Structure 1
Amino acid sequence: MSANTVKEHWIQLGDEQDREGYLALPQGLDPQGAVIVGGEMFGVPEHVRDICRRLAAEGYAALAPNYYWRHVRRPGFGYEEPEYGQAMALMKGLRTEEVLADVAAAHAVARGYTGGSGTAILGFSVGGHIAMLGATALPFDLVVNYYGGWLLDGGIPLSDPEPPVTKSEAIAANSGFVLGFFGANDFVMSLDEWHRVGARLEAAGVAQEQVTYSQAGHGFFNDERPTYYDAEAAQDSWQRTLDALTKHVRRG
């Protein structure tokens, strides 16, 4: 499916007028499932919108909520100062109950675009954390976590009072499958914590797969950041993501 078969626009999420998400849809086709997308701490920049378009080109409705809507409309921060610091401050201002309310609003909207297929949540870095957090409270056929940190040991306000993986039993009850990607050289979360995350999920009975890339680090999927990007890990993880969407989300 080519890029010109994708349509995109911002859409209101729930009853709050300023709560929005960026929505990409396959043009002229019924979606074969819906994916909620959460990016890194930079809001909904072009990189995140491009991921949504890529998913729409595969036949899915892709929705990226603006988790910063209480402070900034349609944010897309850059990777250098001062925007980096502005994004960091907003990320550290996220709170569990507010984010869960946003995920719930996005979930309700996304389900309207499933076309009878399933719903997934996918996230990168803090977006991966939000994906796992969302799975503690809402049902998803597939949860995809790209190097989401603070999952078990905490470390940011969003992980208070209980990091998502401490609620692994709830994740097991809500999730069809959890797929996680991690670079062994990640500076946000240690390899030891990553292994303990997997063990905790397994002990709770979560259907899952954890993929570790020995040469990659944090942010390996973001091709707009050359010092972080790892082409081999990015390509492999994306194909695994598409395969998982076909298996767990697409119906028929």
Structure 2
Amino acid sequence: MPKQAYSRREFVTTTLATGFALAVLPDAQATVINTPLDGLVAGEVKIPVAGGDMPAYRAMPDGAGPFPTVLVVQEIFGVHEHIRDVCRRFAKAGYLAVAPELYARQGDVSKLPDVKSIVDTVVSKVPDAQVMDDLDKTVAWAKGTGKAATDKLGVTGFCWGGRITWLYAAHNPKLKAGVAWYGRLVGEAKPPITPRHPLDVVAELKAPVLGLYGGADNGIPNDTVEQMRAALKTAGKPSEIVLYPDMPHGFHADYRPTYRKEAADDGWKRLLAWFKQHGVN
């Protein structure tokens, strides 16, 4: 994926928010997964990137390493408690997982009241080129710790991060594999912020991506999923898409009403198998 210029900005967010984002406080009836910290090293770290230090959450086994490495790319709600717990789940499976706060220059979404204000105020101003570079810098930081086997590199992301997962697989030739959870596949080109979308970069994919999508996702029509599947086949790319019938957007998010345990568990098993199959283990 070609690099695009973007303006360097000072950081608005210098530390991670605590708990869940205001716009998505846990559903009253949700059984929120809370992965214990025993046997892990986990917490906030700072990653040197263009313009300053970006806050991130890192979790890994308490051991010598180096560990296979996974970039965890946030939902539109930032690196809140759900994303941090996903990192801990990876650490329990033997990975070093790191989730950089990729909106840190544009704003703190954790205190915004709803999705519209998050998109309008922050997310719509985050350039893809900035995100690609920040993820590259995150990999470099991980390698520098001596704990990360970055030759065994994977990426996964949810919603906003699902789209980024596809783009990063077209960007980084050293990536081994990606898993995209219900990330948007098509869209209007809006340079310099979002000049291209996953369907536009299929021919440039440098690593196999497993796409996990919901058949009842109101924001990602099934026909766009089928367009992507057809494009992958035409390009001869070893990527796959699983479309779960009747599943809504956000079916992995255990703290929200959209959570569907069976599909979420199946998707996680597929993710671990995909990473193992493609050398992220």
The TM-score, its normalising length taken from structure 1, stands at 0.87
- Change in Cα spacing, 1:182 to 1:158, as seen in structure 2 (3 Å) is farther
- Residues 1-252 of structure 1: pairs in structure 2 closer than 5 A: 3-15=37-49, 16-72=51-107, 75=108, 77=110, 82-89=113-120, 90-112=122-144, 113-115=147-149, 118-139=152-173, 140-149=175-184, 151-154=185-188, 160-171=194-205, 174-175=206-207, 177-226=208-257, 228-251=258-281
Q: Which moved more, 1:4-13 or 1:112-121?
A: 112-121
Contact persistence 2:69–2:280 (CA under 8 A): no
* Cα RMSD for the two superposed structures: 2.3
Task: Give the Cα–Cα distance (whole angstroms) in 1 for the partners of residues 92 and 161 of structure 2.
Answer: 21
Following superposition, the deviation at residue 234 of structure 1 comes to: 0.4
Work out the percentage of aligned pairs sharing the same amino acid.
31
Q: Which moved more, 1:119-128 or 1:205-214?
A: 205-214
Q: What SS class does the counterpart of residue 135 from structure 1 fall into?
A: helix
Deviations 1:184-239 (A, max 9, x none): 1112211000111111122222211211110201000001102x111111010011
Higher-Rg structure is 2
Contact persistence 2:61–2:95 (CA under 8 A): yes
Following superposition, the deviation at residue 32 of structure 1 comes to: 3.4
Task: Give the Cα–Cα distance (whole angstroms) in 2 for the partners of residues 242 and 209 of structure 1.
Answer: 14
Contact persistence 1:147–1:182 (CA under 8 A): yes
Structure 2 unaligned regions, length at least 5 = 1-34
Q: What SS class does the counterpart of residue 219 from structure 2 fall into?
A: coil
Following superposition, the deviation at residue 158 of structure 1 comes to: 8.0
Contact persistence 1:55–1:61 (CA under 8 A): yes
- Change in Cα spacing, 1:158 to 1:129, as seen in structure 2 (3 Å) is farther
Structure 1 unaligned regions, length at least 5 = none
Task: Give the Cα–Cα distance (whole angstroms) in 2 for the partners of residues 191 and 207 of structure 1.
Answer: 20
Task: Give the Cα–Cα distance (whole angstroms) in 2 for the partners of residues 134 and 118 of structure 1.
Answer: 15
Contact persistence 1:124–1:147 (CA under 8 A): yes
How many residue pairs match? The answer is 242
What code does the residue aligned with 1:195 have? E
Q: What SS class does the counterpart of residue 24 from structure 1 fall into?
A: strand
Contact persistence 2:84–2:99 (CA under 8 A): yes
Structure with greater helix share of residues: 1
Give the corresponding residue for 2:20.
none
Task: Give the Cα–Cα distance (whole angstroms) in 1 for the partners of residues 53 and 118 of structure 2.
Answer: 19
- Change in Cα spacing, 1:192 to 1:19, as seen in structure 2 (3 Å) is same
Q: What SS class does the counterpart of residue 198 from structure 1 fall into?
A: helix
Following superposition, the deviation at residue 157 of structure 1 comes to: 6.9
Contact persistence 1:22–1:64 (CA under 8 A): yes
Task: Give the Cα–Cα distance (whole angstroms) in 2 for the partners of residues 237 and 108 of structure 1.
Answer: 28
Following superposition, the deviation at residue 131 of structure 1 comes to: 0.8
Deviations 1:38-61 (A, max 9, x none): 121000000000000000111100
The TM-score, its normalising length taken from structure 2, stands at 0.78
